[in-house]
Chain A
Amino acid sequence: MTADTAIAPHGGQTLRRSTRYRTLRRFTRHRLAMFGLVVIVLLVMACAIGPSLVPFDQFQLNMRARFREPFATVHILGTDELGRDLLARLLMAGRISLTIGFAAMVIAVTVGTIVGTIAGFYGGAIGSALMRFVDAVLCFPTIFLLLTLAALVSPSILTITLIIALTAWMEVARVVQGQIRALRERDFAVAAEAMGAPDRWIMFKELLPNAVAPIVVAATLIIARGILLESYVSYLGYGIQPPVASWGNMLEKAQQYLTTAPWLALLPGLMITLAVASFNFLGDGLRDALDPRSDLT
């Protein structure tokens, strides 16, 4: 071809940088999301390395130091009815809650993405059947399902995670299905089809990377819900079993001492609120930041 048509891409680099930069800036300007992110990072770090810094074991009983108030003794956050260090227990419980939240998220996102992609890509009878199934599962009251299942299987971290994932994947499936169905109509998907690309290629190489943003948002919200559900089930006694600590079962035990030792209930409650709210804020912030339309204002 003639040389005159060979013109370097104009302003490309700046454009690309600025798209990413704008997304980042929209996110960093979202105060609640930034708050959420900081809290999550602190929480994860504390739960990961905290227990080894605290000079007490979560199971270590001390009948001579029961119901110590926070900030009064070497037990910084006080002790419970068996004299166990509350800080150690809160951090260990946090490990469990966060692990369950993350693990449930990974499972739910994987299952939901696969189901949603297949349903959105094929449409027709397969798509309708899959999505009607998703609708049917969604119609089930989550808590009821959760409690029924928890009553049937012996509670452990693994089973609780699976049960929570089971109640969470449908939303991902719906989001992904909608996205894939819309993307399937775009010309670049038709182009892949015209190239003779196999279905796998079109689904996973062409379409799915364009649906990442809503999946990430859904994933954050699932973590929040997972943490909340775990607390819920544990609080009702079907979840993590004592003496292993979980924010939910700590709360349950603390009920009896609500008037005499209110910090036993307040602290796990605060942790739950903080963790759940932070993930929700993060999800909101990501949604706003990843949505290019929010730039038009």
Chain B
Amino acid sequence: ALIISELELKPPPYSLNSLEPHLSRETLELHWGSHHRAHVARLNSLIAGTDLDGMGLDDIVIATYNKGSPRAPFVHAAEVWNHDFFWQSIKPNGGGQPSGKLMELIERDFGSFSRMLKEFENAALTQFGSGWVWLAYKANKLDVGNAVNPCPSEKDNKLIVLKSPNAVNPFVWDYSPLLCIDVWEHAYYLDYENRRDEYVAVFLEKLVSWEVVSHRLDIAIKRAADRAREDEKDS
């Protein structure tokens, strides 16, 4: 029998009105129920019957990014990935402060939690046109076969804030994203109109799930360590 593996629209891990008053039910109905859904549908129709059919979403994103010469399904695959990641980055009664290893690295790499927030906020306000802003864990790994870092240190792996246009995400550059905010205007226009600064402030103060970010950091660190070990074995 023919097996058709369709990628599915994952619902946010909370009900659509549970981020109110910070993000309205109407915004989520449109943003998740319509924009996100349309990317899933479009992606499924573009990959049906191609070499991408049956691959996992991560692999589709990397394959279609095609080292910077994106194939047609890329924008939809990446937008599905980004939106899944965005919904999971926030929660009702979020905000507050991170703790443990995450806080430690934030303080090491940005000086303080508030300086990291400032940098994140500034990136979100200056992203021109549609796009995303990220906190990511950048492992020191070059995609060049024979490149070797002569003096590797723990600090090579660090937290960074960066922005990306339209659908691009740092995952395609081999970074491990930890947190993202959607700064496409559809993400905030109904609730905040053109006051993006308010949206970004509320996102950081009331919505971010630092538990999820911490958990992602653990995975990212483990992934980087596993790879470093593998590289050593190879060399």
A interacts with B: no
